[in-house]
Structure 1
Amino acid sequence: MDGARMRSGGEAERLLAERTADLQRVKAEYDNYRMRVRRDRLAVREIAVSNVLAALLPVLDAVDRAYAHEPLTPGLRDIGDTLRTQLGSLGLRDFGEEGDPFDPVCHEAVVHRAAPGAERLVCAEILRPGYRVGDRLLRPACVAVTGPP
């Protein structure tokens, strides 16, 4: 009888070990699922925000043109400031400064001026700013470059 108890005790331990391993596998799969869902939700949010911001860039361009060509009224200044603040709160960042080294990944050269003696292309004039959200490029900066012929 003692042998039967030992066999059943050994059997119970083996079953317990199997069930524990099964439970650990299910828990690991569930944890991975939760992390994947969280990552997917963040990716969908980033894409949605990027799409909305990209759609609003022409509005921002129109405000910039109005700033450049119209007398600045308090109302126009308030609209522009509010628009920039709200877009910035969603992560929109402009880029493109005169003197930046030309980078074809984020700059679109629409004018090239030869500069004898120049060693590399440099953004000489920003014709239209570029925009990013995080690491995502929404629009390249349109620039005039100077550099080697």
Structure 2
Amino acid sequence: MTEPVEQGVDQTADQAPEETELAPTPDQEAPAQAGATDPTADVSELEARLSERTEDLQRVQAEYVNYKRRVDRDRALARQGGTEAVLRDLMPVFDAILAAEQHDELTGGFKLTADELVKVTKSYGFDHFGKVGDEFNPHLHEALMQVPDPDAETMTVHEVMQVGYRLNDQVLRPARVVVAVPQEAEQDQE
């Protein structure tokens, strides 16, 4: 018969554990065997992995640089678009300032305010154009009428009906003008 086992006493403590050697798993054998047969295989495999990771890192870095450039460009375009929209809305104000200036009604505090407004908008590249005597340019001027001029050698601005505005090199509104046409050109058209 078997003796009763007392609770809390470990029977296995008296017994010596069997010493067994665990056999290596196939995963553990493969590197050991590969390393034993060809040590350069490990080095070339590591170099290949390093090269692959380096290429991945370079690709990610190039993508980031391109992304940053695109964001900076888009930010600049958005800013310019906002500036352009505000200045388009202010064009009637500038028309009123120019009209007041032509009639010598731009005086006092209003003149100071108008001068400051013009100064600030010029710092953003906003300017008006279209003066009597300028050479006619269809990209800058919108011809409303033509008048023959025997003294004119080329088509020039004879009268400005409405000034034009540009933001840097972009025309926001062409100048509306009366064009002086040389007398000879007028006769050739008839």
Q: Please give the TM-score of this superposition, normalised by the length of structure 1.
A: 0.89
CA deviation string 1:38-89 (max 9, x = no partner): 0000001111101100100101111222223354431221122122112112
1:115 corresponds to 2:149: yes
Tell me what 1:22 maps to.
Answer: 56
- CA displacement at 1:117 relative to structure 2: 7.8
Counterpart of 2:100, as a letter, is A
Equivalent residue pairs, number: 149
CA RMSD of aligned residues (A): 1.9
Larger relative contact order (Cα-Cα within 8 Å, sequence gap ≥ 6) = 1
Correspondence list, 1:1-149, <5 A: 1=35, 3-69=37-103, 71-116=105-150, 120-147=154-181, 148-149=185-186
Segments of structure 1 that go 5 or more residues without pairing to the other structure are none
Cα gap change, 1:9 to 1:105, in 2 (>3 Å): same
- CA displacement at 1:90 relative to structure 2: 2.1
Contact 2:165/2:175 (8 A) holds in 1: yes
Work out which of the two has the higher radius of gyration on C-alpha atoms and give 1 or 2.
Answer: 2
Counterpart of 1:85, as a letter, is K
Counterpart of 1:95, as a letter, is F
Q: Secondary structure at the match of 2:38?
A: helix
Counterpart of 1:54, as a letter, is R
Q: Percent identity?
A: 41
Q: Please give the TM-score of this superposition, normalised by the length of structure 2.
A: 0.71
Contact 1:60/1:83 (8 A) holds in 2: no
